[in-house]
Every structure is written in C-alpha cells, then in structure tokens.
Amino acid sequence: MYDFDDLPDSRTSLRGLTADGDEAWLIRSISQKLYRCPGCGKAVEIGMEHVIVQRIGRIGGTEHQHWHRSCAEDGPMLELRQLRKVSAFETRPGKLAARGQTKAGRRRRDMRRGR
C-alpha cells in the first residue's frame, strides 16, 4: 500500500505503474460531458472536477477512464506503484496519446521530476 494523498491538480499530474507494468497517468480534469465512474458506477456530472486515469500499455495502446476524485483516491492511487508527481504540461491532450503509439522501450526518457 502506498501512502500518497495528493490528488492531481491543474499544475500537477501523477504517474504510476500498474501491477501489469503499464503506465498510468492521473490527470485533473473538468468534465465536458457525462461520464460513468468505474469506481462507484455513478455519474461524473458535467462541469465536475474529476480525475482522468489514462493507461498506456507497455507494448503501446492507451485507454482512459473518468473517476470521481474520492474514488480515484480509494482506487488507482492506492493500487499504483511508484506514484510520483509530474508537471501537468507532460499530460496535456495529445501528448499521452502520442506516447501510447510508441513501445515503452523506445520512449524518450524526458520525464521531468515533480517540482
């Protein structure tokens, strides 16, 4: 179990590893439409501050889900390994999608440590 209680905010995202060794990025977001939280099964309402959990597979490919902040805290944030802060600049739209098109071993190691 990992003791980490800082949720992502507008300047800081989080990056961790799943049990399968996939990357998981946690990004603070405001919902533009209705989503269903995989943690509790209830709606993430439009305009709600929430957490996007985006997985990037070791062999490429990416998928993301929209979580309530409290559900993300009780779910992915407890389960992920090596969770650390990264600049939200690293997780802006498009950047992670591009990362998912490259196999892990070929990705540039340009990740900056959290401030």
| Residues binding Zn ion (CB under 5 A) | 37, 39-40, 68, 71
Rg (CA), the chain: 13
Identify which of residues 37 and 96 has a Cβ nearer to Zn ion in the complex: 37
Query: Rounded to the nearest whole angstrom, what is the least distance from the CB of residue 42 to Zn ion in the complex?
Result: 6
Query: Rounded to the nearest whole angstrom, what is the least distance from the CB of residue 79 to Zn ion in the complex?
Result: 15
Identify which of residues 11 and 42 has a Cβ nearer to Zn ion in the complex: 42
E strand segments, the chain: 12-17, 23-30, 35-36, 43-44, 49-56, 62-67, 81-87
Rounded Cα gap, residues 55 and 76, in angstroms: 11
Query: Are 75 and 39 a contacting pair, CB within 8 Å?
Result: yes
Identify which of residues 37 and 86 has a Cβ nearer to Zn ion in the complex: 37
Query: Rounded to the nearest whole angstrom, what is the least distance from the CB of residue 71 to Zn ion in the complex?
Result: 3
